[in-house]
Amino acid sequence: MDKLIRKIIIAIVVVLLLVAAYIAISVIPSKIEEKNVEEIKAQTGDIVVMSTSIEYVESIEVTNQTGTYTLKKDNNGTWGIKEFPNVQFENVSLESAVNEFTNLKALEEVDLPENLADYGLDKPNAVLKIDLINGDTREFALGKQVTGGRGDFFMDTINNKAYVVSVYMADGLTREVSKYRKTKLANIFASDIKTFEINNINGKISMGLLLSNYTSELTMFMTYPYKAELDETVANSVFDAVGDIMVVDFVEDNPVNLSKYGLSNPSLVLYIETSTDEYTLKFGNKDEKGNVYTMLDGADFVFTQNTKLYDFCSKITPYSLISKFVNIVNISDVSSISVEGKGKKHKLEIESGDKFYINGKQAREDSFRTVYQSIIGIKGSGFAKNNVSSETDYTIKFVYRNGETSVYEYASYDDLNYYVESNGNRGFITLKKGLDDMMKIVDELAKNPTKVIN
C-alpha cells in the first residue's frame, strides 16, 4: 500500500514538473520580452543634456514629420501653440511638454560620426529649438533608432555632441499637435438635460421637461411630433449614452469639403440643452475604425466619436421612444377612476392609500389592485394616422390627489382597433378586445368586491 502511494506521489510530481517546464518554455519568455520592452520604454537616462526651469524659456519650436509648431506663453502666462491660436489645448499637457523638452537626459553619450547619415542625423526625424529669455538658443536633432530598439540617436547640434536617448523621449519629440488638444469637448449629465431633440431619417423628435399630469414634478415628455410620456427604459438608454462628448481622433480643422465625411447633409443632428449650456452635434459617415465623423456647433473642426450615442439615435422613431401604455398612472397619485362603456359605468376609489372601493362598496385590496392593473395595462398598437370620427365606446377618467384630471376616450378606428383621445389629443390606436377584457374584470369586481381576482 505504501509503495502504491509513493508511486502516485511520484507521478503527480512528474506531472507538475512537466507543467512548470511548459510554462517556462512557452509563457515566461514572452513575459520576459514584454517586461524588457516596458523597461526600455520607461528608461529616461541619467546623463544631463540640458536642464532649465520653464520660467527661463521664451519659446520652443518642434519640427517633425507632422509639421512645425511653437510652444509659447501668452500675455497671461499660459502656454499655447502659436500656429493654432484658436484651438483649445490642455494646459497641463503643454506645461508637461515644456518641462519634458527643457530637461533632457540621455542613456549614454556616443562619438559623433564623420557621416551624420550613420545616425540618421542628416535628415532628422525631429528638430527641437529652444529660445531662452536671455537670448541663448539650444538646438537638438533626433536621428534614427539604435539597432535593437534600445533608444534613438540624438544630437546637441550647437555643442556637437551625440547621445542615445530613450524611446520615451523620442516619442515626445515626434508627437503631433493634436495630442495636446482637449479631447473632452463637453461633460453632460443625463440628469441635467432639459431639452433633447433628434433629427434623423425618421424626422424630428423633441423631448422636454414638462409638469407631470398628476404631480407637481417636472417629467421628461415627448413634445413633438406627439405629446406623450416616454418609455423610461428606452429614453434612459438614450440619455445615458450622451455622457461626455469625447474625441477619438481630430480629423480636420476649418474643413471645406464636408461631403467626404457625410457632414454636408448629416444623417443625424442632436440638440441638447442643459441647465447651463446648449450643444448641437452633427453626425456623418463612419471611418475605417468604425467611429463616426462628428462636428460640434461652435467648434470648426471634424472629429470622430465612438458610435454609442449615434447608434442609439440614428434610427430611433417616435413610437419606439414613448410609453406604449395608453393610460398609465401611478396608483399612489390617484383618488378615483371612472370606467364607462357600452352601457356600463363603475367608479373605483382609493381612500388614504389603503382603503379601496368600487361603486361605494369596500373592495378586497389585492383584487382592487389587479383590476387597476388591467385598467392601466391597455397598450397602444400604433399611432392613429387617419382622421376618423366615431362615437365614443369607452371613457376612463382619472381624478388625482392634487385635483387634476385625465380623460381617455376610446372610439372605433377600424374593425379591430379603437383610437384614443387623451384630454383632447389623439394618439394611439389599441385593440378593441383589450377594452372589452378590461371591462369584464371591472364588472367581476363590481359584482363581488371581496372576491379573489387573479
pLDDT by position in tens, the chain (length 454): 455 556 555 656 555 555 555 555 554 454 444 444 444 444 668 899 999 998 999 999 999 999 999 999 988 889 999 998 888 899 999 999 999 999 999 999 999 999 999 999 999 999 999 999 999 999 999 999 998 778 999 999 999 999 999 999 999 999 999 999 999 998 898 889 999 999 999 999 999 988 765 556 778 889 998 888 888 888 888 988 888 899 999 999 989 999 999 999 999 999 999 989 999 999 999 999 999 999 999 888 999 999 999 999 999 999 889 888 888 888 988 999 999 999 999 999 999 878 999 999 999 999 999 999 999 999 888 888 888 888 999 999 999 988 888 899 999 999 999 999 887 777 789 999 999 999 999 999 999 999 898 7
Q: Do 314 and 270 contact (CB within 8 A), yes or no?
A: no
Q: Which amino acid, residue 159?
A: N
d(CA 47, CA 110) in angstroms, rounded, equals 12
Q: Which amino acid, residue 149?
A: G
pLDDT in tens, 200-227: 999 999 999 887 655 567 788 899 988 8
Q: Which amino acid, residue 311?
A: D
What is the DSSP code string of 207-248?
Answer: EEEEE-SSSSSEEEEEEES--EEB-HHHHHHHHHHH-EEE-S
What is the predicted pLDDT for the residue at 43? 63
Query: β-strand 161-165 against 152-156: which pairing, if any?
Result: antiparallel
What is the DSSP code string of 297-319?
Answer: TTEEEEEEE-SHHHHHHSS--HH
d(CA 436, CA 395) in angstroms, rounded, equals 12
d(CA 206, CA 223) in angstroms, rounded, equals 5
What is the predicted pLDDT for the residue at 36? 45
d(CA 369, CA 353) in angstroms, rounded, equals 12
What is the predicted pLDDT for the residue at 9? 59
What is the predicted pLDDT for the residue at 45? 80
DSSP reduced 3-state for 354: coil
* Greatest Cα pair distance in the chain: 109
Backbone angles phi, psi at 144, to 5 degrees: -85, 170
Those residues with Cβ within 8 angstroms of residue 285's Cβ, 6 or more apart along the chain or in another chain: 261, 262, 267, 292, 293
What is the predicted pLDDT for the residue at 230? 87
What is the predicted pLDDT for the residue at 214? 55
Q: Do 294 and 284 contact (CB within 8 A), yes or no?
A: yes
What is the predicted pLDDT for the residue at 41? 45
d(CA 435, CA 377) in angstroms, rounded, equals 10
DSSP reduced 3-state for 59: strand
What is the predicted pLDDT for the residue at 18? 57
Grid-cell match 564623420, residue found: 114
Backbone angles phi, psi at 301, to 5 degrees: -155, 155
Nearest of 367, 369, 364 to residue 332 by alpha carbon: 369
Task: Give CA torsion, residues 213, 217, 221, 226, to 10 deg.
Answer: 30
Q: Do 334 and 400 contact (CB within 8 A), yes or no?
A: yes
What is the predicted pLDDT for the residue at 33? 46
Please tell me the pTM assigned to this model. Answer: 0.69
